[in-house]
Amino acid sequence: MSTFGTLFRVTTFGESHCASVGAIIDGCPPGLQLSAADIQVQMNRRRPGQSNLTTPRNEKDAVLLQSGLEHGVTLGTPIALLVRNEDQRPHDYSETDLYPRPSHADYTYLEKYGIKASSGGGRSSARETVGRVAAGAIAEHYLKIAYGIEIVAFVSSVGKVHLPMAAAVPATAEDDDDAAEPMSEEFRSLLAGVSRADVDAHLTRCPHPETAARMEKRIIRAKDALDSIGGTVTCVLRNLPSGLGEPVFDKFEAKLAHAMLSIPATKGFEIGSGFRGTEVPGSRHNDAFVRRADGSLGTQTNWSGGVQGGITNREDVYFRVAFKPPATISQAQATAQYDGTQGSLAARGRHDPCVVPRAVPIVEAMAALVVMDLLLIQNSRQAAAGRLPPITTLPATMVMPPRV
Amino acid sequence: MSTFGTLFRVTTFGESHCASVGAIIDGCPPGLQLSAADIQVQMNRRRPGQSNLTTPRNEKDAVLLQSGLEHGVTLGTPIALLVRNEDQRPHDYSETDLYPRPSHADYTYLEKYGIKASSGGGRSSARETVGRVAAGAIAEHYLKIAYGIEIVAFVSSVGKVHLPMAAAVPATAEDDDDAAEPMSEEFRSLLAGVSRADVDAHLTRCPHPETAARMEKRIIRAKDALDSIGGTVTCVLRNLPSGLGEPVFDKFEAKLAHAMLSIPATKGFEIGSGFRGTEVPGSRHNDAFVRRADGSLGTQTNWSGGVQGGITNREDVYFRVAFKPPATISQAQATAQYDGTQGSLAARGRHDPCVVPRAVPIVEAMAALVVMDLLLIQNSRQAAAGRLPPITTLPATMVMPPRV
Amino acid sequence: MSTFGTLFRVTTFGESHCASVGAIIDGCPPGLQLSAADIQVQMNRRRPGQSNLTTPRNEKDAVLLQSGLEHGVTLGTPIALLVRNEDQRPHDYSETDLYPRPSHADYTYLEKYGIKASSGGGRSSARETVGRVAAGAIAEHYLKIAYGIEIVAFVSSVGKVHLPMAAAVPATAEDDDDAAEPMSEEFRSLLAGVSRADVDAHLTRCPHPETAARMEKRIIRAKDALDSIGGTVTCVLRNLPSGLGEPVFDKFEAKLAHAMLSIPATKGFEIGSGFRGTEVPGSRHNDAFVRRADGSLGTQTNWSGGVQGGITNREDVYFRVAFKPPATISQAQATAQYDGTQGSLAARGRHDPCVVPRAVPIVEAMAALVVMDLLLIQNSRQAAAGRLPPITTLPATMVMPPRV
Amino acid sequence: MSTFGTLFRVTTFGESHCASVGAIIDGCPPGLQLSAADIQVQMNRRRPGQSNLTTPRNEKDAVLLQSGLEHGVTLGTPIALLVRNEDQRPHDYSETDLYPRPSHADYTYLEKYGIKASSGGGRSSARETVGRVAAGAIAEHYLKIAYGIEIVAFVSSVGKVHLPMAAAVPATAEDDDDAAEPMSEEFRSLLAGVSRADVDAHLTRCPHPETAARMEKRIIRAKDALDSIGGTVTCVLRNLPSGLGEPVFDKFEAKLAHAMLSIPATKGFEIGSGFRGTEVPGSRHNDAFVRRADGSLGTQTNWSGGVQGGITNREDVYFRVAFKPPATISQAQATAQYDGTQGSLAARGRHDPCVVPRAVPIVEAMAALVVMDLLLIQNSRQAAAGRLPPITTLPATMVMPPRV
């Protein structure tokens, strides 16, 4: 439904043509300094009309905070926020309304609800993500201040234009080739250091200049052809504490996958070595433990993507999300009308030829919501366990030994 | 946590060395004829020791039904079931207990709980999936009887040995190549017809004989090398009604992704065209609508994987899940002890060199749980909407027109 | 937290001095004709300033619908609504802010959150109930249209002034007196027939003229004494289908009790014969079954209050809710300041001397939310069971026999 | 459904005649020393056959722990436990099966599920409470060790035999009588000091010897008359921290009410002054703040019952629960059969003439579950807020001033 989270809960509302879209965020820690500007920065990154690579519709998307704060400090009570829809008129009837748009949600919304918004797929609109991004901005604001957690997403491919990472594993059909590494050195160092400034330095939000230029070219080609193209977004989470993720159903990666696949137009998710990791033998894939400078344990490699057994291990978490090519294209498509009549449909207006640049802050937002919620749950456990007297009779294998 | 689902809720329990593992299934429809044998068939497919490709440990895994049935019929009350652990002795202390196993959950469980089962990663053991498979068998039993829904999973790759599907898209670096199709014709027809009998005809559970033979060879090679290898499982859901999936956060694919990434050793999920679909332009990727024989709308292609806007459209749903190579291998690995001392660890005993054959019924089980729960929620909406008088004043664009 | 319900979910927001208060209603059936006026009618009944028995603050409380509807019909998507706070200025600092108000939430909010709204108890304000009443109005609008369900609440006592019901059981200390009935005949007929028009015919919202007059006198006496007085609200639900309520934790009465005790100022809940029923022997208290005119089973008496085993039985549900005297009174009270200094506090401004008249629509709203949610869940079960083939082999004791 | 709680979650299963009854407890803090004996003590207090006041059926009810512990210490993973049913044979068909028992759940279970256990009301059996009591025993074991929290319930009335508390308020019809106090001094001191040993010193579990003797007489009279009688249980929670309870829907008293009304045979709940408090003016009812010896704030009186605005204030919480007379009585009752035929039914076997003595540990268990869950949630908030830097710019009215 429209609520996400257990202790940090986000409930969103709104379609394309109603009065406003927005969200209620329940469970925000009290005592957090927060302004509309802290939220607006991510809203602006999500907004259409940022470049000639995205739709020219220019919405202002100004966040209006309704509750849960006083004097710029959170009260611990629900924070409601909304963003007005500039154009609230119900969609006018037109010839193209005879058709369910191929690979869009017009048809399935109608099948599900027996009714649909005149604008089409109702809540499947990208407009729905406004509430998510605002909520995620609040979560990451807390995570940054309280834990120094960094969340950075970037475009890792557009069509067949991939970051160098993609070239690292030769797609050989030779069954015996065990030599490949699941991730290139270049990619590893990108994950470790990439910042939002690096990402925003390019219209495509790919922080690798040479690849970014090729991606831009690819998107413009799709646009010129009245067509669209898909892509992937990679996201890295740094400085996470260990212990996040709730076995067995709410493993860290399970909640992340849920969150990511709830974003419109997504078709896939992988964490750490992901699908490529399936091709590698365990002896290469395992992340050996090493002693860190501070005496704690880390891992030498990180094919696990910061998660083992569904629980974070303090290494960086990184994952990748697949976005299909936008379904709405301006070229004519042969397709059937609602009543079954065969015909041809060409979408009017102008549309994003590629969603991944704008998807970057949405991926970050959903990641922040997952981290925030699992952090609150783990906090609770640790506080509860911390009230118990130490148990001195357990076998050594059941507790953490002192560091040498 | 350990509960999955909203109306059809499964709660599992159990570690490797406790008295039993099992589950409570709450929300099963009343009046369903169900026997332990209906459940046992999937339990047996999950069980270790089925071939020389899997671990030789031979557990009986007999399901003991505790409640919720009388005279072989469900009462609508919680069904508790358990499977005894044959070996309930806590794990003996040994030299290898000094080490957290690389890429296993020993370390993260200890970080999370401050204590761990003497056997290691506690609930991260594959033993935990016993409860899921049993619960899933009940769900699919209902779905088969009530809707004729079919759920079939199979092994689609082991290491670099892929079903022909994988070869369909040349991994060219040419940005301009739009010609590729995301799925081969051969794969499409496999999805349409594959049965569990086809799958079980091969030890690897790959229903494509030539590929199955290569996979078997690959697994044996890993075994002989005291190593392990990953793979993927593909699953198809047939005869689903349209309208399943709860926007915006509980989209059908979001719940599926959550379910799949909660299975031990999984690293990725993709639905429909998945990651490959990101490389294809929208004009090729869109699934045009066509009139079906019965007058309803279907789609000509199915790159969407049966889901549009997070809601099923009556086409087959298919998705793929990535399993990493098992972390437990018998060859020696250089790694640190809990206390930071550097050393070398070799796992004792024998272990699955590849989990995907045994993962097949687990993937099916989790898919069944997702379908069941979303079906119950959509049933509720339809029943509620069905009590309302028809509204005659709505614009034509908001309701389904009569078929021509 | 701030969300109530499983399938019909209400999430509220807002304090006294923020921009607005409101709610998101998720899970409303699609295809329901609904206007702001359908909601406003209950909002107006909740509003302060309706008579000289309530606080003179005159808020307009106009509901602004934000989403989830088009052309006056629900889309099945979240309905967001808000009501602006007329006075959004944070509360000015004053001498009385040194004191936590006795029996108010100022102190506990501060203890819980470490911070509090400058206006005091934050979400404990009666202002918070705006979102509940609006959501409840939508629920009961559906229930009325789809099932003919009627929900009527009324004031059953103010201080010691009770409806005749209360006089029916002599409060004798004789242990052996088994003769008393838990409910008077007059009260029984009131439950069967009372309408909202009957209730609103009196300022006190007590539909019994003679009692209403005495109540009014009692409230005015409290007001004149700069004091306050408590009371009870009784509510009856008519035309409920059987089968509502989810054993074992979400029994119909358990959800009702939860809902009622979540209303500000409530201290008690009883259903059917309630506390009085504990004094009666089973032979008198049991509700014998009788054949109804339509051949179905009903009960001769209804001490159960329409619920048996946590499940509705088609008889009227009735329950009573206790409201304490309002904590905010204008007379001086000896009490300590936040810092522990002993002193004296007199509330400024004017306040409701008795909340029960205004509580009537709030009780109705919360009852509607409970019924709606449990109805949707039971609908789902019935639809699921209805897809199964009939089972012919069950013992006769396990199924409903044909009517004679 | 059959799960209760958000972070400390209990899921129960089992009917009267199935293989076993039990529960899964998820979310128990790790590192807690726990033995079966810790649980068994409350199981034994719940068990039938403890005296001639209860049913002579003598079940052993030995708890079998299945998972979640090793070496007698909790792992933080789900604790499954079960208790075998001694008599697992489905109920034999008999003449009395033609009748739905009046005020029992036979009829409503059949209406809800379309099928019922041959034994009758299925999960409405008191046997279902086995899982609750076991789960509650674990919760209170933690609460005692970690916080010193004490939970003591006792029988406060049987039929018209009440603890002296009940006599304190003359049930006068004089509207002007404001003099009454809602609670007697004797009762107040009972709440402050009563222990489980005091309670168990009497068969009736009423810790007031003179009243206990009268109660026992009253129960025996019911038994001799082949009849039954109701009663109330009062429960006090001591040493609770402040800040528990989640506004607005999950207020402390709302969760308690939910928990209590989910116990079989309950008809009412009141906290603090409860229904009596509605008759008292605010000037008398308000709990003035006073400085405690340790400098913190307490209240002089405690009509609030330890809760203000839905949040605990560190004063004792006390509440009362109404239990109806057991529906199953041996004397003949005129009532209709399932098929509508009028007839007469007399229950066979022997039954509890009064449930309140055995209800005492069930009330304690449910109270422990509520406290535990709300404590974990508040712990989470405090830990999260504790990571934030102090805010120095807030108005003095929004933060706690230093103690004088």
Write out pLDDT tens, residues B90-122: 555 576 789 999 999 999 999 999 998 877 667
Chain B hits for A289, CB-CB cut-off 8 Å, are: 99-100, 102, 107, 335-336
Query: Measuring CA to CA, which residue among A283, D274, C277 is closest to residue B351?
Result: A283
**pLDDT value for C172:** 44
User: What does the pLDDT average to over A6-10?
Assistant: 98
CATH superfamily of C3-398: Chorismate synthase AroC (3.60.150.10)
**CB burial of residue D176 (10 Å; 0-12, 13-18, 19+):** exposed
Closest Cα partner for C142 from B386, D275, D333? B386
Residues 176-215, chain B, touching A (beta carbon < 8 A)? 176-177, 214
D134 CB within 8 Å of a chain B CB? no
C285 → chain D, closest CA residue = D325
Taking the whole predicted model, whether its pTM rises above 0.90 is answered as yes
Closest-CA distance of chain C to residue A358, Å: 24
Distance from CA of A233 to the nearest CA of D (A): 30
Q: What is the mean pLDDT of residues A129-141?
A: 97
CB A343 within 8 A of CB A99: yes
Please answer yes or no on whether D267 and C253 come within 8 Å at the CB atom: yes
User: Looking at the complex, does the CB of residue B175 fall below 8 Å from at least one CB of chain A?
Assistant: yes
pLDDT for the residue A50? 72
Cβ pairs A/D, distance under 8 A: 97
Nearest CB among A109, A124, A329 relative to B283 is that of A329
Q: By percentage, how much of chain A surpasses pLDDT 70?
A: 90
Name chain B contacts of A378, Cβ cutoff 8 Å: 112
Per the CB < 8 Å rule, is D267 touching C255? no
Please state, in angstroms and as integers, the Cα–Cα distance from residue A136 to each residue in A42, D159, D214, following that order. Answer: 9, 56, 62
Mean pLDDT across chain A: 90
Which of A21, A28, A73, A75 is the best residue to mutate to test the C interface, defined by the most C CB atoms within 10 Å of its own CB? Answer: A75
pLDDT confidence tier of residue B184, bands split at 50, 70 and 90: confident
C107 reaches D (C-beta below 8 A): yes
Measure the CA–CA gap between C361 and C352, rounded to whole angstroms. Answer: 16
- Select from A70, A385, A395 the Cβ nearest to the Cβ of D71: A395
Continuous H helices in A17-128: 36-46, 106-113
B112/D21 touch (CB, cutoff 8 Å), yes or no: no
Q: Determine which helix (DSSP H) or strand (DSSP E) holds C64, and give its type and residue range.
A: strand C64-65
A18 to chain C: which residues are within 8 Å by CB?
66-70
- Cβ–Cβ below 8 Å for B70 and D118: yes
pLDDT on residue B58: 52
Query: For residue C180, is pLDDT > 70?
Result: no
In tens, the pLDDT along A33-77 reads 999 999 999 999 988 767 767 665 555 789 999 999 999 999 999
Task: Provide the chain B residues 239-278 that lie in CB contact (below 8 A) with chain C.
Answer: 247
Q: How confident is the model at residue A96 (pLDDT cuts 50, 70, 90)?
A: confident
**pLDDT per residue over C121-139, tens digit each?**
678 888 899 999 999 999 9
pLDDT at position D216, please? 97
Of A46-50, A383-387, C79-83, minimum mean pLDDT range: A46-50
Assess whether pLDDT exceeds 80 at residue B89: no
What are the residue numbers of the active site of A? 17, 104, 352
- Could you give the residue numbers annotated as active site of C? 17, 104, 352
pLDDT of C265 reads: 97
In this predicted structure, the answer to whether residue C233 has a pLDDT above a threshold of 90 is yes
pLDDT tens by residue, chain D, 404 residues: 999 999 999 999 998 889 999 999 999 999 999 999 999 999 999 887 677 676 655 557 899 999 999 999 999 999 999 999 986 655 555 767 899 999 999 999 999 999 988 776 678 888 899 999 999 999 999 999 999 999 999 999 999 999 986 434 444 444 555 555 656 778 888 999 999 999 999 999 999 999 999 999 999 999 999 999 999 999 999 999 999 999 999 999 999 999 999 999 999 999 999 999 999 999 999 999 999 998 899 999 999 999 999 999 999 999 999 999 999 999 999 999 999 999 999 877 668 899 999 999 999 999 999 999 999 999 999 999 999 999 888 888 788 887 76
> Cβ–Cβ of B26/D11 closer than 8 Å?
yes
Q: Which residues of C touch D227 (CB under 8 A)?
A: 281-283
Cα–Cα distance for residue pair A325/B284, rounded to 1 Å: 9
Per the prediction, chain C carries an average pLDDT of 90
Provide the pLDDT for residue A116. Answer: 83
Contact D389 A7 (CB under 8 A): no
Mean pLDDT of chain B: 90
Give the model confidence (pLDDT) of A295-306 as tens digits: 899 999 999 999
Distance from CA of D97 to the nearest CA of C (A): 6
Q: Would you say B245 and B251 are in contact if contact means Cβ atoms under 8 Å apart?
A: yes
* pLDDT on residue A94: 74
DSSP of D326-383, one letter per residue? PS--SS-EEEE-TTS-EEEE---S---S--HHHHHHHHHHHHHHHHHHHHHHHHHHHH
**How large is the average pLDDT for residues B312-321?**
97
Q: Read off the tokens for C142.
A: 């559906």
List, for residues A317-365, the tens digit of each pLDDT value. Answer: 999 999 999 999 999 999 999 999 999 998 776 688 999 999 999 999 9
Contacts of A375 in chain D (CB under 8 A): 384
- Interface contact flag, B308 A264, Cβ < 8 Å: no
- Tell if the CB–CB gap between A380 and D379 is shorter than 8 Å: yes
Distance of CA B149 to the CA centre of its chain: 16
The alpha-carbon gap from B71 to the nearest alpha carbon of chain A, in Å, equals: 32
**A30 touching C, CB under 8 A?**
yes
Which chains have 3+ CB pairs within 8 A of B?
A: A, C, D
- Return the residue in C6, C9, C24 with the most chain A beta carbons within 10 A, the one to mutate for interface testing: C24
Q: Which stretch of A216-220, B13-17, B25-29, D237-241 has the lowest confidence by average pLDDT?
A: B13-17
Domain B3-170+179-385, CATH class in plain words = alpha beta
B398 neighbourhood in chain C, CB within 8 Å: 70-71, 73
| Nearest chain C alpha carbon to D92 | C397
Q: Is D352 a catalytic residue?
A: yes
What per-residue confidence (pLDDT) applies to B322? 98
Please state the rounded mean pLDDT for residues B164-180.
50
pLDDT at residue number C169: 43
Q: Do residue B379 and residue C377 have CB atoms under 8 angstroms apart?
A: no
Collapsed DSSP state (helix, strand, coil) of residue D311: strand
Distance CA B277, CA B257 (A): 17
The per-residue pLDDT for range D237-292, each reduced to its tens digit, is 999 999 999 999 999 999 999 999 999 999 999 999 999 999 999 999 999 999 99
> Contact B78/D2, CB-based, under 8 Å?
yes
pLDDT at A396: 80
Residue A267 has pLDDT above 50, yes or no: yes
- Residues C143 and D68: their CA atoms lie apart, in Å, by 45
Residue B395 has pLDDT above 90, yes or no: no
**Residue D77 to residue B123, Cβ atoms within 8 A:** yes
Q: Which of D10, D24, D93 to mutate to test the interface with B (most CBs of B within 10 A)?
A: D24
Fold of the domain spanning A3-384: Chorismate synthase, AroC fold (3.60.150)
Q: What is the pLDDT of residue A167?
A: 39
- Pick from A91, A288, A340: CB nearest B335: A288
Q: CA of D240, closest CA in chain A: separation in Å? A: 14
Burial (CB count within 10 angstroms: exposed 0-12, middle 13-18, buried 19+), residue D188: middle
Pull the structure tokens for residue D171.
């049930």
Domain boundaries, chain A: 3-384
Query: What confidence category does residue A234 fall into, taking pLDDT thresholds of 50, 70 and 90?
Result: very high
pLDDT (mean) for B260-267: 98
- Residue scoring higher pLDDT (A188 or A4): A4
Q: Do D231 and C278 touch (CB under 8 A)?
A: yes
**How does pLDDT run across C240-261, given as a tens digit for each residue?**
999 999 999 999 999 999 999 9
Predicted confidence (pLDDT) per residue in C255-285, tens digit? 999 999 999 999 999 999 999 999 999 999 9
Catalytic residues of B: 17, 104, 352
pLDDT for res C40: 95
pLDDT of residue A58: 52
pLDDT value at position B168? Answer: 41
Contact C384 B375 (CB under 8 A): yes
Selected residue with higher pLDDT from B172 and D202: D202
A380–C contact, CB cutoff 8 A = no
